[in-house]
Amino acid sequence: MSYNVDDKGFYGQFGGAFVPEMLYANIEEIRVNYRELLKEKNFLSQFNALLKDYVGRPSPLYFAKRLSQKYQTKIYLKREDLLHTGAHKINNTIGQILLAKRLNKTRIIAETGAGQHGVATATVCALMDMKCIVYMGEKDTIRQALNVGRMRMLGAEVIPVTSGSRTLKDATNEAIRDWISNPKDTHYIIGSAVGPHPYPDMVAQFQSVISKEIKTQLLQQTGSENPDYVIACVGGGSNAAGAFYHFLEDKNVGLILVEAAGKGVETDYSAATSVLGSIGIIHGSKTLLMQTSDGQIIEPYSISAGLDYPGIGPMHAHLITSGRAEVFACTDQEAIKAAINLTRLEGIIPALETAHAFAMLEKRKFDSGDTVVLNVSGRGDKDINTYLNNIQYE
Amino acid sequence: MNKLQKVLRKRSKKLLNIYLTAGYPNIDNTLDILYALNEQEVDLVELGIPFSDPLADGLTIQQSSEMALKNGMSVERLFAILKMADSDRLPPLIAMGYLNQMIQFGEEQFIKDAKDSHIDGLIIPDLPMDIYQRDYQDLFRKYDMGISFLITPETSNKRIQSALELSNNFLYVVSSSATTGGKGGFSLSTMDYLKAVQRIETEIPKLVGFGIHDKTTFEAAVKYCDGAIVGSAFIRMLQKSNDYHKDIATFVEKIRT
């Protein structure tokens, strides 16, 4: 069994491009171009140069000694939080802005939940002198106000979305509608490994630099390029896709996904798609999603705006249903506790999204000899208010 | 030949297709509105099955869908209501829904129940043609269910041919690159596009949708094609109406004469 995308755009039974005809030409233009572009020397050297000199890659792989002691195993942190703009999201936006340039687009649209992808998009648009419009659920503009300010300072127009549940799912709908209305001059930079083919694969490939570096760095530090486990949080799934990419076919490497349980999977306030979801279509992709028996998409809940998505990338749906990946769900409170724990042990304040991945360490025992790589997808600056409101110091 | 096909064969007529979000403004008056449209001799009605995330639709239809869902409309409920209808008073019916609704209901059950509910055709905008052919065409044939695919100004000639081969009710011609609900007049490029569509040879009628909201846009559409679909404008009328029967009659008359 292969865990990567097939030539029709499917991961097992998941994926595809279930889009209205109004979007077909837009997506087809990308589909016929992206694979060749990703092999082109000129493109790759431009991409890699920007990742190195502008983004700050490679990001460190750091052996977390005190965290390892606590959990009686060897934990390495992949520090995507140290990248320019503070999260892994920029790897993908650099790649897609170069693609957009190549396709002669002049206008960029994006959706954002936590605002990290919006900031990463606004950043590359400033860098490349492109017009930038970011759709963001009205609710998220409030809980991630700092990122709204950053986007505006970078010159992006932030449009608060008031339709539906006013969060990430609706921001994505609005961005898609914008693209339907502006098919010729606009490129849509999707930030997660979701959406119609080829987006999940394209985003995964732009993010795959994460696992590529892990291999090199682990080899240098431990003498072996493969860890026993890779852990990543998952909303749509871009950081997990990147952290897993070069380990997908190597079954000796355990893959662990951590979803947001919100207030608990048994409550009505959760975003644990693998537990609560069923097969359906969301944003042009066949995948697991949270829905009613009538096929209406349910608004998920998580304290973390970046994990607050009712679906999951088709790659991850396939990894989970085929048993290739283990999946855990951690609650808001578990994530906050894990964030404090990490901060006090290692002096690293993680993004709320990433904090869920750390919370998983409480739920599963690793052997003392295991090498465990945890992808620190983002830093916690944007979440300080949420942390302060939820932390009671002893 | 079913009721819908009979209407569609009358090519000389300028076919008027009215779109209605099922369950809007209330669940109870969906049938009444359908009967009233039939009394006005509307040629066919496209019933929108409300969906939480209607990607192709503009604000008016989004809001009507949201309201319909709040009212308790669902696929199951809609079929139940239509099955109880007086079929002689129903106009020829097609239904528009998104693929997720069909998958969740069970594809075969959905098609079978739709047929039992006097629905003779479906429009599933996010169902790609190749997936339809591979997974669903046999089921549609089994229950004599029709289907219409969409073409847009960006659709290649090759895909237009596929859409024509697979569509057996009518070809849905999207007037411009936009979501539903446009209120302005047609641009020159839209007129040029419709002229080009006129030259496409086919046995099935071509119906224009998106942005048809008054007599002017309706006339422009039927000048080059066989009919047109009026959706958001009809919903906006219902939004304001205190007397459906009277207002529906006026609305249809204004477009036709």
How far is A245 from A206, CA to CA, in rounded Å?
A: 10
Catalytically annotated residue among B57, B113, B120, B226? B57
- Taking CB atoms and an 8 Å limit, are B154 and A181 in contact across chains? no
Asked if the structure places residue B7 within a domain, the reply is: no
The architecture of the domain spanning A11-50+89-196 is 3-Layer(aba) Sandwich (3.40)
State the residue range of the domain holding B191: 14-256
- Taking CB atoms and an 8 Å limit, are B103 and A24 in contact across chains? no
Task: Quote the pLDDT of residue A144.
Answer: 87
- Least confident span in A258-267, A303-312, B78-87: A303-312
- State the SS3 of chain B: CCHHHHHHHCCCCCEEEEEEECCCCCCCCHHHHHHHHHHCCCCEEEEECCCCCCCCCCHHHHHHHHHHHHCCCCHHHHHHHHHCCCHHHCCCEEEECCHHHHHHHCHHHHHHHHHHCCEEEEECCCCCHHHHHHHHHHHHHHCCCEECCEECCCCCHHHHHHHHHHCCCCEEEECCCCCCCCCCCCCHHHHHHHHHHHCCCCCCCEEEECCCCCHHHHHHHHHHCCEEEECHHHHHHHHHCCCHHHHHHHHHHHHHC
B46 is catalytic: yes
Q: Is B96 on the interface with A (CB under 8 A)?
A: no
Q: Is B159 on the interface with A (CB under 8 A)?
A: yes
Q: Which of A10, A13, A14, A18 to mutate to test the interface with B (most CBs of B within 10 A)?
A: A18
- Of the candidates A16, A181, A183, the beta carbon closest to that of B154 is on A183
The ranges of chain A annotated as CATH 3.40.50.1100 are 11-50+89-196, 58-87+203-390
Asked if the structure places residue B215 within a domain, the reply is: yes
Q: Within 13 Å and on the Cβ side, how many CA atoms surround A4?
A: 15
Give ∠ CA B107-B113-B117 in degrees, rounded to 5. Answer: 140
Q: Is B136 on the interface with A (CB under 8 A)?
A: no
Task: Quote the pLDDT of residue A227.
Answer: 98
pLDDT band at A393 (very low <50, low <70, confident <90, very high): low
Task: Express as a percent the part of chain A with pLDDT over 70.
Answer: 99
pLDDT band at A202 (very low <50, low <70, confident <90, very high): very high
Task: Kindly identify which residue of chain A lies nearest to residue B178, measuring between CA atoms.
Answer: A181
pLDDT band at B210 (very low <50, low <70, confident <90, very high): very high
Task: Quote the pLDDT of residue A165.
Answer: 82
Q: What CATH number did the domain enclosing B108 receive?
A: 3.20.20.70
Asked if the structure places residue B251 within a domain, the reply is: yes
The mean pLDDT of B147-168, rounded to a whole number, is: 97
B226-253 residues labelled b (16+ CB within 10 A) or e (exposed): bbbbbbbbbbbbbeebeebeeebeebbe
Which residues lie across from A75 on neighbouring strands? A372
The pTM of the full predicted model, rounded to 2 decimals, is 0.96
How far is A208 from A95, CA to CA, in rounded Å?
A: 11
Question: Residues of B numbered 18-37 whose beta carbons fall under 8 angstroms of chain A's beta carbons: which are they?
Answer: none
- Of the candidates A22, A183, A279, the beta carbon closest to that of B56 is on A22
- Least confident span in A331-335, B59-63, B106-110: B59-63
Yes or no: say if A366 and A71 are a contact pair by the CB < 8 Å rule: yes
How far is B81 from B34, CA to CA, in rounded Å?
A: 12
Numbered residues of chain A with Cβ closer than 8 Å to any chain B Cβ? 16-22, 24-26, 163-164, 169, 173, 176-177, 180-184, 278-284, 291, 293-297
- Taking CB atoms and an 8 Å limit, are B104 and A294 in contact across chains? yes
**Which comes out higher in pLDDT, residue A158 or A167?**
A158
Average pLDDT, chain B: 95
pLDDT band at B170 (very low <50, low <70, confident <90, very high): very high
- In tens, the pLDDT along B13-54 reads 799 999 999 999 999 999 999 999 999 999 999 999 999 999
- Taking CB atoms and an 8 Å limit, are A176 and B55 in contact across chains? yes
Cis-peptide into B153, omega within 30 deg:
no
Closest CA to B160 of B100, B191, B204: B204
Task: Quote the pLDDT of residue B177.
Answer: 85
Task: Quote the pLDDT of residue B32.
Answer: 96
Task: Quote the pLDDT of residue B185.
Answer: 87
How far is B193 from A270, CA to CA, in rounded Å?
A: 47
The mean pLDDT of A62-67, rounded to a whole number, is: 98
**Which comes out higher in pLDDT, residue B55 or A15?**
A15
Q: Is B125 on the interface with A (CB under 8 A)?
A: yes
- Taking CB atoms and an 8 Å limit, are B74 and A21 in contact across chains? no
Asked if the structure places residue B249 within a domain, the reply is: yes
Asked if the structure places residue B229 within a domain, the reply is: yes
Is the alpha carbon torsion for A118, A123, A128, A131 positive or negative? positive
Task: Express as a percent the part of chain B with pLDDT over 90.
Answer: 91
Asked if the structure places residue B27 within a domain, the reply is: yes
Catalytically annotated residue among A89, A139, A337, A382? A89
How far is A377 from A357, CA to CA, in rounded Å?
A: 9
Task: Express as a percent the part of chain A with pLDDT over 90.
Answer: 93
Predicted confidence (pLDDT) at residue A111 exceeds the cutoff of 90: yes
Closest CA to A59 of A239, A197, A235: A239
- Of the candidates B99, B128, B177, the beta carbon closest to that of A22 is on B177
- Of the candidates A17, A184, A295, the beta carbon closest to that of B128 is on A17
Average pLDDT, chain A: 96
- In this structure, the strands spanning A131-137 and B93-96 are unpaired
B57 is catalytic: yes
Predicted confidence (pLDDT) at residue B182 exceeds the cutoff of 90: no
- Taking CB atoms and an 8 Å limit, are A295 and B55 in contact across chains? no
Please compute Rg for chain B using Cα positions.
Answer: 17
* Distance between A112 CA and the closest CA of chain B, angstroms: 17
Task: Quote the pLDDT of residue B13.
Answer: 76
Asked if the structure places residue B115 within a domain, the reply is: yes
Asked if the structure places residue B9 within a domain, the reply is: no
Predicted confidence (pLDDT) at residue A245 exceeds the cutoff of 80: yes
Count of structural domains, chain B = 1
- Of the candidates A163, A281, A294, the beta carbon closest to that of B99 is on A281
Task: Kindly identify which residue of chain B lies nearest to residue A29, measuring between CA atoms.
Answer: B154
- Taking CB atoms and an 8 Å limit, are A173 and B53 in contact across chains? yes
Yes or no: say if A218 and A225 are a contact pair by the CB < 8 Å rule: yes
* Distance between B112 CA and the closest CA of chain A, angstroms: 17
Residue B74: what residue type? Answer: S
Give ∠ CA A74-A79-A85 in degrees, rounded to 5. Answer: 165
Task: Kindly identify which residue of chain B lies nearest to residue A17, measuring between CA atoms.
Answer: B128
* Distance between B149 CA and the closest CA of chain A, angstroms: 8
Task: Quote the pLDDT of residue A391.
Answer: 81
- In this structure, the strands spanning B206-209 and B227-230 are parallel
* Distance between B48 CA and the closest CA of chain A, angstroms: 14
Task: Kindly identify which residue of chain A lies nearest to residue B182, measuring between CA atoms.
Answer: A181
- Of the candidates B62, B103, B126, the beta carbon closest to that of A284 is on B126
Q: Is B56 on the interface with A (CB under 8 A)?
A: yes
Return the number of other C-beta atoms located less than 10 Å from residue B198's C-beta: 13
Rank B8-17, B173-182, B236-245 by mean pLDDT and report only the highest. B236-245
pLDDT band at A394 (very low <50, low <70, confident <90, very high): low
Q: Which residues of A touch B101 (CB under 8 A)?
A: 294-295
CATH tag for A58-87+203-390 (out of 3.30.465.10, 1.10.10.410, 1.10.357.20, 3.40.50.1100): 3.40.50.1100
- Of the candidates B56, B105, B174, the beta carbon closest to that of A295 is on B105
Predicted confidence (pLDDT) at residue B181 exceeds the cutoff of 90: no
Task: Quote the pLDDT of residue B184.
Answer: 85
User: What is residue A161's three-state secondary structure?
Assistant: strand
Task: Quote the pLDDT of residue A166.
Answer: 87
